[in-house]
Amino acid sequence: MTEHIVLQNVYKTFSKKNHSETVALEDVSLSIKRGEFISLLGPSGCGKSTLLNIIAGLEKETSGQVLINGSPITGPGNDRIVVFQESGLFPWMTVLENVMYGLLIKKVPKEEAKMRAMNWIQKVHLGKFADRSPHELSGGMKQRVAIARALVMDPEILLMDEPFAALDEQTRMVLHQELETLWRETGKTVIFVTHNIREAVVLSDRIVLMKTRPGGIKNIFSVQAARPRNSSDSILNYLETRILSELEQEMEKVLKEELGSDYALKKDRLHIDPHNNLGSDI
Amino acid sequence: MILIIIWEAISKLQLFPAFMWPPLLFPNEPGGVTVFKTFISGIASGQLLEATGASLLRLIIGFIIAVVIGLLLGLLIYKYKVVDDTLGFFVTSLQAIPNIVWLPLAILWFGLGVGSVLFIVILGAAISVTITSSAAFKGVNPLLIRVAQTMGSSGWHLFRTVIFKASIPQLIAGLRIAWALAWRAVLAGELLGGGGGGLGTLLDLGRSIQAMDLIFSIMIIIGIIGSLIDNIVFVRLEKFVFRKWGISST
């Protein structure tokens, strides 16, 4: 397996109105192999979506470099397709037209585009709904269409920005299995942004745990469990607990900043209260 | 129905002379005028129809030109910040001026004729279309734009296939308002003397010969045309688009 995506010392800062700067990403370096399924996991505000958007070419890094197949990215391109949290289907088009949209941009002849689109619509089990409008579909079905629309383009890289976050638990579990199957069939490189530990553990080869303020990489975990994944696998459960304990530190950091320094996430810890400092000032 | 009975009653009571309050259906003296009779004979002689045709033609020409100009300006305002800061602001302040106010200026520039009427029609409707279209383009869900961009769409293709399509529901609402403005402008322009042969001109004629029956006939036509276009064209168009776009209409 070769290096597919390489991030070198990527920084991203946003300037605020009062001329101060927020560091969204600090010194992110990461290399992703071809065909790897990698998750970016972290609490909100850790810059995971920003990182995804930079790889997608929708945002520009402040400094550093992002290389794909050894060459820097210049903007959005159809070798990298993004599936967003909301499906973002075009409401004036039918399911079929939505899936065909990208192919027609690629100047694929209409008949062939239609065939390839139908093929993918059937792969996500929506063959019966090809002529429906997006507003007639449920949330899970919309995400299926969004996945079909992305994969029909045959991108090298599939970028997923919390694609299942708005779905109910049952639908999400089904889509996890289907996504894993599709990924194994197609061998795409997948970058999957999520705040759901379970989801990351079940799907990924590697999990990049991100930290907040400033955003960046905290730790990287490899998931060495057999595929197809079985959600009761003890390796997965163990990993989930480990990641959760690391994530808790991050959560506490965020909560302390938001709610005050005397906040403690765990109630059984030594409580440090600045107003009642246990008599050390006597 | 009740209104018609009350109307007839007031006319029959002779509270006002017949030229000010003509009966609708039944003449007050044998062979006298009624609105209904004038309406029918006006249509039969072609006088009313001709005038209606002339006014409608002006409306349609003016409206189409206004929509084209309005969409172009809306696009420019959406696309370029400079245009938004300059022209956008200017257009919004122009909107505060009722378009009939431009008529004296139009008469000076284009003379007393069809040109002046078209000018105020286009001006009023174009301003309205510009404002609604630029707002509609700016209000397109950024998610849809991002999706299209990652698929490789950009520039004119992005505008044509996504931004324009996504703003169609708002654009239609804008066109409906612009159309009503244009219809008013046509009649006001004709009434105040720009361009002969239209319904407005006929109204002015009715006033000068004190033919209230004629004036009422014309008002009926204006009302009918107004509600026909609104109901048949715009309400249907809106319903169709709302259904297709999946917006639940209330």
Residue B6 domain flag: no
Residue B13 domain flag: no
Q: How far is CA B7 from CA B13, B15, B147, in A?
A: 10, 11, 61
How large is the average pLDDT for residues A23-27? 80
Interface with chain B: mutation pick from A90, A138, A152, highest number of B CBs within 10 Å:
A90
Residue of B nearest to A81 (CA): B150
With beta carbons less than 8 A apart as the criterion, state whether B59 and B117 touch: no
For chain A, report the end-to-end CA distance as a whole number of angstroms.
Answer: 64
pTM: 0.77
Residue B147 to residue A136, Cβ atoms within 8 A:
no
Residue B8 domain flag: no
Question: Per DSSP, which regions of chain A are E strands?
Answer: 3-15, 21-33, 37-41, 63-68, 71-72, 80-83, 157-161, 189-194, 206-211, 216-222
B242 DSSP 8-state letter: H
Residue B150 to residue A135, Cβ atoms within 8 A:
no
pLDDT at residue A238, rounded to an integer = 85
Rounded to whole angstroms, how far apart are CA atoms B73 and B96?
18
How large is the average pLDDT for residues B44-62? 85
Residue B150 to residue A90, Cβ atoms within 8 A:
no
Per-residue model confidence as pLDDT tens digits over A196-248: 888 888 888 888 888 877 788 888 888 887 777 777 778 888 888 888 888 88
ipTM: 0.77
Residue A53, pLDDT > 80, answer: yes
What percentage of chain B reaches a pLDDT higher than 90?
Answer: 11
Residue B18, pLDDT > 80, answer: no
Between A and B, how many CB-CB pairs are < 8 A? 63
Write the residue in B143, B157, B247 that is nearest to A86 by C-beta. Answer: B143
Residue B135 domain flag: yes
Q: Which amino acid, one-letter code, is at B101?
A: V
pLDDT at residue B250, rounded to an integer = 44
- Binding-face residues of A in 151-170 toward B, CB within 8 A: 153, 159
Residue B152 to residue A77, Cβ atoms within 8 A:
yes
Interface with chain A: mutation pick from B151, B157, B240, highest number of A CBs within 10 Å:
B151
CA angle B47, B53, B58 (to 5 degrees): 130
Using DSSP, state whether A81 is helix, strand or coil.
strand
pLDDT at residue B31, rounded to an integer = 66
pLDDT band per the 50, 70, 90 thresholds, residue B69: very high
Helix (H) or strand (E) run with residue B116 in it: helix B114-138
Residue B219 domain flag: yes
Residue A44, pLDDT > 80, answer: no
Sequential DSSP letters for A230-275: -TT-HHHHHHHHHHHHHHHHHHHHHHHHHH-TT--SSTTSPP--TT
Per-residue model confidence as pLDDT tens digits over B171-201: 998 898 899 888 888 888 888 866 677 888 8
Write the residue in A57, A58, A105 that is nearest to B151 by C-beta. Answer: A105
Pairing state between β A206-211 and A216-222? antiparallel
Residue A101 to residue B161, Cβ atoms within 8 A:
yes
Per-residue model confidence as pLDDT tens digits over A86-135: 888 898 888 998 889 888 888 888 888 888 888 888 888 888 888 888 88
Residue B143 to residue A88, Cβ atoms within 8 A:
yes
Residue showing tokens 């003016």 = B62
Q: Is A58 on the interface with B (CB under 8 A)?
A: yes
pLDDT at residue A1, rounded to an integer = 52
pLDDT band per the 50, 70, 90 thresholds, residue B203: confident
- Binding-face residues of A in 251-270 toward B, CB within 8 A: none
Using DSSP, state whether B117 is helix, strand or coil.
helix
Pairing state between β A21-33 and A216-222? unpaired
Residue B31 domain flag: no
Write the residue in B144, B146, B154 that is nearest to A90 by C-beta. Answer: B144
Residue B11 domain flag: no
Which residues constitute the domain of residue B199?
50-244
A206: alpha, beta or left? (left if phi > 0; alpha if psi -120 to 50): beta
How many domains does chain B divide into?
Answer: 1
**What strands lie across the sheet with A71-72, from one edge to the other?**
A21-33, A3-15, A63-68, A71-72
Chain B CB contacts of A135 below 8 Å: 245-246
pLDDT at residue A276, rounded to an integer = 58
A93: alpha, beta or left? (left if phi > 0; alpha if psi -120 to 50): beta
Residue B148 to residue A77, Cβ atoms within 8 A:
no
Which is nearest to A178 in space by CA: A105, A134, A217, A125?
A125
Least confident segment among A55-69, A168-182, B34-48, B232-246: B34-48
Residue B231, pLDDT > 80, answer: yes
B interface with A, Cβ–Cβ below 8 Å? 141, 143-144, 146-154, 157, 161-162, 165-166, 168, 244-247
Domains recognised in chain A with CATH numbers: 1-79+157-165+187-282 (3.40.50.300)
- Peptide linkage before A163 cis (omega within 30 of 0): no
Count of residues making up chain B = 250
- Peptide linkage before B169 cis (omega within 30 of 0): no
pLDDT band per the 50, 70, 90 thresholds, residue B72: very high
CATH number at residue B204: 1.10.3720.10
Per-residue model confidence as pLDDT tens digits over A253-276: 777 777 776 666 666 555 555 555
pLDDT at residue A252, rounded to an integer = 78
pLDDT at residue A67, rounded to an integer = 84
Interface with chain A: mutation pick from B140, B145, B149, B150, highest number of A CBs within 10 Å:
B150
**Which tokens sit at B80?**
């370029």
Q: Is A60 on the interface with B (CB under 8 A)?
A: no
Residue A135 to residue B246, Cβ atoms within 8 A:
yes
Residue B28 domain flag: no
